Chains A and B, each alone.
Chain A
Amino acid sequence: MQGPRPNDQIDEIAIREFIAVDYPRVVAAVRLVAGDGAEDAVAEALARAWERSAGGTRIETLAAWVTRVALNLATSRWRHLRVEKLARPRLARPEEEPISSADDRLDIERALTTLSRREREVVVLRYYLGMDVADVAATLRVTGGTAKTLLHRARTKLADQLSELDTQEANVRAELR
């Protein structure tokens, strides 16, 4: 990720630089946290950063700001689905089939789904984007203590989940022999 940009205003050059350097990793990170719609969320966050900067808002680190806002936007898409699900009984509409099956996902993707949104975020920022705890805290706008607690909880859950999935896989292999 790029370091802090001491610029006052984000221009088209900075936007293109972000797209060339940071965009793929930020999209991948948002996808790991929130699933589909990551590219849309990152593009929207980038447009908002540009607009806000032009309006006088100082954005210290474009990559961190876009990551945070894109994560917020992407998880809000989940909220839309959730609201729709809550509202469905009132409309008496039949339940729709889930869009994708979990079978083709990697163990880590399945394990991530057992974490809360915040836990997924700290795991992805820490282990995929390679941020230290201070940067994770700054990106998510929480204290260092909160970030550490979330990371500890997430690691414990992930360890349990991955170990369980390993055991299941070993059992399946043993049965196939």
Chain B
Amino acid sequence: MPNFDDRVTRELHRAARPPAVDIEGVAADVSRRRYRRATHRRAGAVAAALGMLIAVSVGLWAVQSPGETGDIPGSSPSATPSPSLEPSTPGQDLGLGFDVCVFDRLRNVAFQEGIDGTAWTAAPIIKGACADVGYQPQADPMVVVDIDGDGIADAYTEMPCRYGCHPSPFGATDLNGDGRNELIVNVQPFSIMDYMVFVITDDDDLVVATVTGDGHATNGFREGQPTVFSSGGDEGNAESVRCTGWPGPDTQITQTTSYHPVDSPDPTEVGVTSLRLTGTTFMVVSREDLRVPPGQNYTGHSTEPACGLDWYRNL
């Protein structure tokens, strides 16, 4: 369609209206912005260092001041009140238009190149304030993101939790090869870590990645449900994540789970599922259910970083 291409080109040039440039003015503006960013970074670093210094000082003071009864530090009941589930702490304004109780925050998340974004997990305020520990048992948790690095939230979504969860932003990596990073959220910190994937869509929305098509029930991948990857292990269970083809459009994430019955003659059950993310949905591209005879070890797990993330970092 050469005529059509010409028409689009011509009309875009008519519509574009490039601004007249005051080189000195723009250069001064850019310099100011750069200076402001550098100052902001230095202030942040100083604040962090001061915070750490204060925390260390308080810790040292606590160790060196055993209290009036002369009890041995560490063995005495703490004078500090326990964190309360009763709401008492004010919420935070992340720029959503309403205050939230923040569970956790991850800074310097590169959702897009050149930008240090932030991700939060939070919950809407209930009873007018937040509990000291941040955990809001009655409220649905939510994931909030600042994509452009100005510290103000750009998008949020409520987080599906089938049971009580205490989510925490874990990292960002490009799982669908579209050049923009997805946010990975640790759903629950346990000996087995569960991770959900959140995608920032072309329509400027933040959505949880779900499974499309036939899933793989062995590893918990069910159509229409959030995709949950797991790593770690306990009592005969082992779960691991591997990636192939990353970074790029051919990225496949492989979830391996195994259950080795302890002190039992039964075989080890293994499930291996490979998935590919397209847009906001994961499609299972291969699935395997294996049985490893008693006395043999399954060696298919890997604890190496996968898709640019160390999925075992918190274990």
Residues of A in contact with B (beta carbons under 8 Å apart): 12, 15-16, 19-20, 23-25, 27-29, 31-32, 39, 43-52, 65, 68-69, 72-73, 75-80, 82-84, 86-88, 90-91, 105-109, 116-119, 123-124, 127-128, 130, 140-143, 145-146, 155, 158-159, 162
Does B5 reach chain A (CB closer than 8 Å)?
yes
Contact yes or no, A19 B19, CB < 8 A: no
Q: Are B147 and A76 neighbours in the complex by a CB distance under 8 Å? A: yes
- Which single member of A76, A128, A141 contacts B113 (CB below 8 Å)? A141
A–B pairs, 27, beta carbons within 8 Å: A12-B31, A15-B27, A19-B30, A23-B21, A24-B19, A25-B18, A29-B16, A32-B16, A47-B30, A51-B34, A51-B38, A65-B114, A75-B204, A76-B147, A82-B204, A84-B97, A86-B156, A87-B97, A106-B11, A108-B15, A116-B203, A123-B8, A124-B12, A141-B179, A141-B180, A146-B177, A162-B7
Which of B8, B18, B155 is most buried by chain A, counting CB atoms within 10 A of its CB?
B8
Q: Which of A69, A75, A109 contacts B114 (CB 8 A)?
A: A69
Chain B positions near chain A (C-beta within 8 angstroms): 1, 4-5, 7-9, 11-21, 23, 26-27, 29-31, 33-34, 37-38, 95-98, 112-115, 147-148, 152-156, 177-180, 202-204, 248-249
Minimum CB–CB distance for A145 against chain B, Å? 7
Question: By the criterion CB–CB under 8 Å, are B4 and A82 in contact?
Answer: no
Contact present for A72 and B114 (CB under 8 Å): yes
Q: How far is the CA of A51 from the CA of B27 in the complex (A)?
A: 14
Contacting residue for B8 out of A51, A69, A78, A127, CB 8 A: A127
- Whether B97 pairs with A43 at a CB distance below 8 angstroms is no
Contacts of B27 in A (CB 8 A): 12, 15-16, 19
For the complex with contacts A29-B16, A48-B114, A162-B7, 20 further pairs of A-B residues with Cβ separation under 8 Å are A19-B21, A19-B27, A24-B21, A32-B15, A32-B16, A49-B114, A65-B113, A72-B112, A73-B148, A79-B155, A80-B154, A82-B204, A83-B154, A84-B97, A86-B156, A88-B97, A117-B204, A141-B179, A155-B1, A159-B4
Q: A79-B147, A83-B96 are in contact. Are A43 and B26 (CB under 8 A)?
A: yes
Query: Within the assembled complex, what's the spacing in Å between the Cα atoms of A49 and B31?
Result: 11
CA distance A140 to B180 in the complex (A): 9
Report which of A44, A108, A143 forms a contact with B177, defined as CB distance below 8 A.
A143
Q: A39–B179 contact, CB under 8 A?
A: no
B22 and chain A: residue at smallest CB distance: A19
Contact yes or no, A79 B154, CB < 8 A: yes
Interfacial chain A residues near B155, Cβ < 8 Å: 79, 82-83
Closest residue on chain A to residue B117 by CB atoms: A76
Residues on the A chain within 8 Å of B11, using CB? 106-108
Point out the residue from B1, B14, B34, B114 that lies within 8 Å of A106, measured CB to CB.
B14
Closest B residue by C-beta to A109: B15
Contact B30 A87 (CB under 8 A): no
CB <8 Å contact, A68 and B37: no
Assess the B96–A87 pair: CB atoms within 8 A.
Answer: yes
Given contacts A32-B15, A52-B114, A155-B1, contact A76 B154 (CB under 8 A): yes
CA A91 to CA B97, docked complex, whole Å: 7
A143 to B34, CA, bound (A): 32
Task: Verify A69–B16 contact, CB threshold 8 A.
Answer: no
Q: Which residues of A contact B9 (CB under 8 A)?
A: 127-128, 130
Q: By the criterion CB–CB under 8 Å, are A28 and B8 in contact? A: no
Distance in angstroms from B115 CB to nearest chain A CB is 6
Query: Complex formed: what's the CA distance from A15 to B95 in Å?
Result: 32
Task: Choose from B96, B98, B179, B202 the contact partner of A117 (Cβ within 8 Å).
Answer: B202
B180: chain A residues at CB < 8 Å are 141
